[in-house]
Structure 1
Amino acid sequence: MTGNPSAYGLWSLVLLNAAVFIIFAFSFYKPKTSRDWRSFGMYAAFIVALFSEMYGFPLTIYLLSGWLSQRFPEVDFLSHDAGHLLEVMFGWRANPHFGPFHLLSTAFIFGGFWLLASAWNVLYQAQRAHRLAASGPYARIRHPQYVAFVLIMFGFLLQWPTLLTVVMFPILVIVYARLARREEAEALKVFGNDYRDYLSRTPAFVPRFNASTTQGKSS
């Protein structure tokens, strides 16, 4: 493994890229409560861990260097392109930015940010009117903002998998699910039967595209 050392140690790029994706998400999510900040903080930690390995120190590649070198002796894993491990492991030898996993990751990331922006606008209008958010993305799933964070993180995981983010991802999914349950308990206290009706017709995280959903309103 005699790759170009300039491919890593670029901590200015770590800070720049992490800041861009954290601030971009913040501009849509706009956390207010302690729970909001907790969920956003977990996303931010994932992003920092990701870019720290992408441009700073390739910890995963160093830890797996023996196995990777034996399995793929022709690949220089200290080159930046080889950090796209899924592309390498499945035989994609062209520009990894045009590989199937990278393109799929881009779709997940942009889809996640679109969902985050769409959900925030609906939630903001509902909070101003003191009513239940049940239109737009909320007409399909009860927790579109949490789903958006999961989509974005999964997209980055496809693009640049690391040991740390692979471990973090399922933990964050579980934490988001628990936060969603707590939000539902609080919403039941505030909106009562309106929210019970919303619960009965709207799935939590995975939309039912073959079922008609009614955009509910609360009094």
Structure 2
Amino acid sequence: MTGDVPAYGLWFLAAINAGIFILFAFSFFKPKTPRDWRSLGAFSAFIVALFAEMYGFPLTLYLLAGWLGTSFPALDPLSHDAGHLWPAMFGWSMDPHWSPFHLLSFVFIGGGFILIATAWRVLHEAQRAGNLATTGPYARLRHPQYVGFVLIMIGFFLQWPTLVTGLMLPVLIVMYWRLARSEEREVEAAFGDKYRRYASAVPAFLPRPANLLRSSRG
């Protein structure tokens, strides 16, 4: 017995971390409709797959162990730090927790959660009043909550890329795009020309630079 903490097989830790982030998303997103639950469910599947490899079984590292050992002989391919694959692939010997990828991931993850939480408050108030949500994040994007989920998933992929989440990410982006289009048809049916004018002025997913600079409209 050496007393060393194992890098993997920590399934309790995987479950705790996945549960925390799913609970955060649930508390910010507050799903109510079947569409909301599908959005949260897809995000939750991504998070579970991520932490299952981060702390449970490192499937990606096992599959890439031969290539990693040959290409980066100084790297222990089954160490926990090796899971932060981006620095290793760029040949950086630095602590991966201080790599640009890891630091940028915090921006994406934090920004995504802030966007989801802020957008939900605006949407909730608009729904209570029977109005179209056009203020706050909705003054810049028509689907800020879906964008928030995608930002969080991209952030985690920058921090800890895996083959499974790499395959899931584009599929989930397409799924959110389809959910957004379905939602738009329903909102257009409810608000008619008002929504069409709003949609012509505000982009769906990528804000225009001018929209980022101007203040929110009341």
Give TM-score scaled by structure 2 length: 0.94
> For residues 113 and 97 of structure 1, what CA distance do their matches in structure 2 show?
21
- How many Å apart are 1:79 and its aligned residue? 1.2
Q: Equivalent residue for 2:48?
A: 48
Tell me the amino acid that sits aligned with residue 64 of structure 1. Answer: L
Cα 1:81–1:192 shift into 2, 3 Å: same
- How many Å apart are 1:92 and its aligned residue? 2.5
Tell me the amino acid that sits aligned with residue 196 of structure 2. Answer: R
Cα 1:200–1:214 shift into 2, 3 Å: farther
1:87–1:93 Cα contact (<8 Å) kept: yes
Where structure 1 has 5 or more consecutive residues not aligned to the other structure, the ranges are none
- How many Å apart are 1:91 and its aligned residue? 2.4
Percent of pairs identical after alignment? 62
Q: Equivalent residue for 2:179?
A: 179
Q: Equivalent residue for 1:106?
A: 106
Tell me the amino acid that sits aligned with residue 80 of structure 1. Answer: H
Is 1:200–2:206 an aligned residue pair?
Answer: no
> For residues 172 and 213 of structure 1, what CA distance do their matches in structure 2 show?
31
> For residues 76 and 215 of structure 2, what CA distance do their matches in structure 1 show?
54
> For residues 213 and 95 of structure 1, what CA distance do their matches in structure 2 show?
39
Tell me the amino acid that sits aligned with residue 155 of structure 2. Answer: G
Aligned residue runs from structure 1 range 103-182, under 5 A: 103-182=103-182
- How many Å apart are 1:215 and its aligned residue? 6.0
- How many Å apart are 1:62 and its aligned residue? 0.4
2:188–2:195 Cα contact (<8 Å) kept: yes
Where structure 2 has 5 or more consecutive residues not aligned to the other structure, the ranges are none
Aligned residue runs from structure 1 range 4-153, under 5 A: 6-153=6-153
- Residue-pair matches, total: 214
User: Match of 1:9, SS?
Assistant: coil
Is 1:188–2:216 an aligned residue pair?
Answer: no
Q: Deviations over 1:8-49 (max 9, x none)?
A: 000011011000100001001011111110011000000000
User: Match of 1:117, SS?
Assistant: helix
> For residues 215 and 94 of structure 1, what CA distance do their matches in structure 2 show?
42
> For residues 59 and 91 of structure 1, what CA distance do their matches in structure 2 show?
22
User: Match of 1:210, SS?
Assistant: helix
Cα 1:214–1:105 shift into 2, 3 Å: closer
2:14–2:55 Cα contact (<8 Å) kept: yes
- How many Å apart are 1:216 and its aligned residue? 6.8
> For residues 10 and 215 of structure 1, what CA distance do their matches in structure 2 show?
45
> For residues 194 and 176 of structure 1, what CA distance do their matches in structure 2 show?
24
> For residues 100 and 215 of structure 2, what CA distance do their matches in structure 1 show?
36
